[in-house]
Amino acid sequence: MKLKLFFLLSFILCIHIHAQSYIFGKITSESGTEMQDVNILNTRTDEIVLSNSDGHFMISGKAGDELRFIKVGYERLAKKVSRENIESPMNITLVRSTIQIPEVEVKQGLTGNLKIDSRSYNKPKKVEKLTKEIDRYIAQKSDPRILAAKPGEFVQPKGEGFYIGKVKDKWDDIDLMSYIKSSLGDDYFTNLKIEKPQIEHFIYYVFAGGFERKKILKYGYCSDADLYRFQRFVLTRISSYRAPQTQK
């Protein structure tokens, strides 16, 4: 009898230890308004959820995890999960992003001095041409061949080098999702019978299906070719995404 009781208690303890914990909370703005459709990312598990119409959210995690709260137009917020956050709701407040006002160029007016005004408004054609060529050169992307070694030029040999740690990606999946959504537009997805509230969920569904994006996240740059590749990949995932909804 004692042996059975011992095994029963051990079994209950094991279940308790391995039980999945969840973090609950509510997200509001500076003015106290509940915030809907805020992306909540657990950086350890890569799980992403959205807050509901009342600003509430629920995501799996444990003490020590880092949660990121992201919404367009608001400052990103990172929050370490404490033991208290698992036992009681987490209250989050997001602050609006600072809007940068474009720089206004103040042009010099006429001074009335013919010599000064002629220098300011009648620049020599050679100077104007050189200025335009410099601006055009700066705007162009650098060609790696320009920096390549010339014949006979000494080149530092490559060695094994040394490891300085993992280089952090410039983007994460949320950044890429936002870029794709804004670049393709809502009409692209609604034409595929994807409702607006489901667009972000569908993009994550395409990512999870094996869309290759390591270089995009590493350099923080999505080219037109990457967008076209994403659209082709969508065609292979759209039918399976619709299937569960069709079966209802």
Taking all residues of the chain, what is their mean pLDDT, rounded to a whole number?
78
Task: Give the model's pLDDT for residue 98.
Answer: 77
pLDDT tens across 203-229, in order?
Answer: 999 999 999 999 999 999 999 999 999
The strand ranges marked E within the chain are: 22-29, 39-42, 48-50, 56-60, 66-70, 77-80, 90-94
| CA neighbor of 77 nearest in space, from 49, 101, 96 | 96
Residue ranges covered by each domain of the chain: 19-94, 173-247
Q: Which of 72-76, 90-94, 152-156, 158-162 has the lowest mean pLDDT?
A: 158-162
Task: Give the model's pLDDT for residue 163.
Answer: 47
Determine how β-strand 39-42 pairs with β-strand 66-70: antiparallel
Question: What is the CATH architecture of 19-94?
Answer: Sandwich (2.60)
pLDDT tens across 164-214, in order?
Answer: 555 688 999 999 999 999 999 999 999 999 999 999 999 999 999 999 999
Which token pair is 83?
């033991």
Task: Give the model's pLDDT for residue 102.
Answer: 55
162 pLDDT higher than 80: no
160 pLDDT higher than 60: no
pTM for this model (two decimals):
0.40
| CA neighbor of 86 nearest in space, from 12, 19, 174 | 19
